[in-house]
Amino acid sequence: MFRLLPCLLVLALSFTACDKKDEEEDTHPVWILYVTVRDGAFPSRPLPDCAHVKWRYSGEFDEHDTGCRNDNNFVKVWEKITEDVRIFYRVECPGYAPSAESFADFRYALVDTFSNRDGAEVIQNVTVTIYPE
């Protein structure tokens, strides 16, 4: 009898751990900004693991910080989109002067819904050159 109680408890916990309500909700559609970062002194040299894109939504003051991943010289910035979006962004990297602030517009009506994709998205690619201080 005493062994049955712990077994039932473990079984009950395993069923609640698999509850679908705890799964992450679908984040699509999304807007994506790929920022390729170039070194102004040596434009063909990538800046791996240092570039950060500081960005904010138009009309907001909260700033977000997204950095490079996997030794790439680009930064992927993305969020869920439910309406037209404008973001302001700049690139920063230690030892380099920050880039000028730029903006990107993402139109909800342009969300790409090709069936062979993981999810719907609207994408922009930009190249930003920063210079050593």
Give 9-29 pLDDT, tens digit per residue: 444 544 444 444 454 566 789
> Quick check: is 3 in a domain?
no
> Quick check: is 95 in a domain?
yes
> Quick check: is 73 in a domain?
yes
For the chain, the average pLDDT equals 80
SS3 track for the chain: CCCHHHHHHHHHHHHHHCCHHHCCCCCCCEEEEEEEEEECCCCCCECCCCCEEEEEECCCCCCEEEECCCCCCEEEEEEECCCCEEEEEEEECCCECCCCCEEEEECHHHCECCCCCCCCEEEEEEEEEECEC
Q: What pLDDT band is residue 117 in, cutting at 50, 70 and 90?
A: low
Each residue's pLDDT tens digit, 27-41: 789 999 999 888 889
Q: Under a CB-based contact definition with an 8 Å cutoff, are residues 99 and 130 in contact? A: yes
81: Cβ–Cβ under 8 A, 6 or more apart, which residues?
29, 30, 31, 106, 108, 111, 122
**Cα separation of the two ends of the chain:** 74
Residue 60 has pLDDT above 90, yes or no: yes
> Quick check: is 54 in a domain?
yes
What pLDDT does residue 19 have? 47
> Quick check: is 38 in a domain?
yes
From 16-25, 65-74, 83-92, the region with the lowest mean pLDDT: 16-25
Which CATH number fits the domain that encloses residue 119?
Answer: 2.60.130.10
- As for how many domains the chain has, the answer is 1
> Quick check: is 40 in a domain?
yes
> Quick check: is 101 in a domain?
yes
pTM of the model: 0.74
Q: What pLDDT band is residue 105 in, cutting at 50, 70 and 90?
A: very high
Residue ranges making up the domain that contains 97? 27-130
> Quick check: is 69 in a domain?
yes
Residue 5 has pLDDT above 60, yes or no: no
Percent of the chain, pLDDT > 90?
Answer: 46
